[in-house]
């Protein structure tokens, strides 16, 4: 009879949910039968299926070792032999966090884009496969970036870190700063865009639009550089709320959409940029992120270099002056 010792990574979930994850090859009816017939015990006692596991619990399951091995088997092989996480995109890593300077053109999560290419989180699972030791938890995205947005994204490697970072995002104690290249120039050097956003279904797909019925949305911005290629502006944006497409929709609302933005942008300018500058995605980059480290309990800041397409557009000198460092901390803290 297999006996499982519950660690922090597997704690906090109900017994039923734990069993579904632990036994991915088991039919739901079998799991319910095991619970109903009291063939699953916690600390050698029968508990309800809604019992929430805590660190130190022991779970015993009345299955043969052969059946347990068959029902719990996972394929540990690397999923993508041709595509692996590029280690030079790793900004920081320790036992709880992995922070990546995401390349444009890759979805962060399966299903975010109609493509057979692996998502970022799948590549992360591949990268960490030999070091994953949880029975049910897999490293998870703490937040998201659009497919064509480059820059910093945080992955939690343990369940406690995921819980703490998710809480920090909910409570808006994480500060993110983006760099965007806009078509035209905002009328003021700096400002707070305070305009509620509501999702609208349009002939070209869902779109976030300024609407008084929408959720409150605030974005602070300041101009960093004017006359980029004599027609664009480099703008620094700090969202005070975390709405979908917030920066893209807000800058478009100002009449200065992000260059290359196919949903909120200027089609004529986008066409010009494709033909003459080789711009094939929207020019938005998550450059800086600051938060209280969930393990060390100190304030930390991480920075991500511009990707080559954006760096070539705005000038190499920006990368070595305002955003010269890849990170304020050592790349690895494992």
Residue among 57, 126, 146, 266 flagged as catalytic: 146
The Cα–Cα gap between 306 and 225 comes to 15
Burial 85-114 (b: 16+ CB within 10 A, else e): beeebbbbbbebbbbbbbebebbbeeebee
CB 208 within 8 A of CB 151: no
Nearest to 119 by CA among 140, 94, 95: 140
Return the structure tokens found at 309.
């397409």
The Cα–Cα gap between 182 and 235 comes to 7
Reported as type and span, the H/E element at residue 239 is strand 232-239
Return the structure tokens found at 224.
């960093």
Angle, CA 321 vertex, CA 315 and CA 327 arms, to 5°: 110
The Cα–Cα gap between 326 and 248 comes to 25
> What backbone phi and psi angles, to 5 degrees, belong to 187?
-70, -20
The Cα–Cα gap between 293 and 237 comes to 23
The Cα–Cα gap between 213 and 202 comes to 17
- Residue 44 annotated as catalytic: no
Nearest to 291 by CA among 142, 179, 146: 142
Nearest to 131 by CA among 182, 185, 95, 175: 95
As a three-state string, the secondary structure of 190-223 is EEEEECCEEEEEECCEEEEEECCCCECCEEEEEE
Strand partners, 102: 151
Which residues are catalytically annotated? 146
């Amino acid at each position: 009879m297999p006996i499982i010792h519950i660690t922090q990574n597997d704690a906090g979930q109900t017994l039923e949910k734990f069993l579904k994850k632990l036994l991915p090859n088991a039919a739901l009816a079998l799991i319910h039968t095991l619970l109903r017939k009291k063939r699953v015990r916690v600390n050698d006692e029968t508990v309800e299926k809604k019992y929430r596991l805590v660190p130190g619990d022991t779970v015993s399951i009345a299955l043969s070792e052969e059946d347990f091995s068959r029902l719990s088997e996972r394929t540990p092989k690397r999923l993508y032999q041709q595509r692996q996480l590029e280690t030079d995109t790793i900004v920081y890593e320790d036992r709880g966090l992995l922070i990546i300077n995401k390349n444009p053109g890759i979805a962060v999560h399966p299903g975010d884009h109609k493509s057979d290419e692996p998502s970022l989180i799948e590549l992360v699972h591949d990268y960490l496969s030999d070091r994953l030791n949880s029975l049910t938890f897999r490293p998870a995205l703490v937040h998201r970036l659009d497919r064509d947005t480059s820059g910093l994204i945080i992955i939690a490697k343990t369940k406690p870190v995921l819980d703490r970072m998710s809480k920090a995002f909910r409570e808006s104690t994480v500060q993110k700063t983006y760099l965007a290249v806009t078509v035209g120039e905002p009328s003021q050097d700096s400002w707070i865009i305070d305009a509620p956003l509501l999702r609208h279904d349009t002939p070209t797909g869902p779109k976030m639009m300024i609407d008084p019925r929408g959720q409150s949305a605030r974005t602070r911005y300041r101009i960093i550089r004017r006359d980029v290629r004599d027609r664009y502006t480099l703008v620094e944006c700090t969202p005070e709320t975390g709405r979908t497409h917030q920066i893209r929709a807000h800058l478009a609302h100002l009449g200065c959409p992000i260059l290359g933005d196919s949903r909120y942008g200027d089609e004529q300018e986008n066409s010009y940029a494709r033909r003459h500058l080789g711009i094939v995605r929207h020019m938005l980059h998550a450059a800086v992120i600051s938060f209280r480290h969930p393990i060390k309990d100190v304030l930390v800041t991480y920075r991500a270099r511009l990707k080559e397409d954006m760096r070539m557009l705005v000038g190499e000198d920006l990368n070595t002056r305002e955003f010269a460092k890849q990170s304020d901390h050592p790349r690895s803290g494992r």
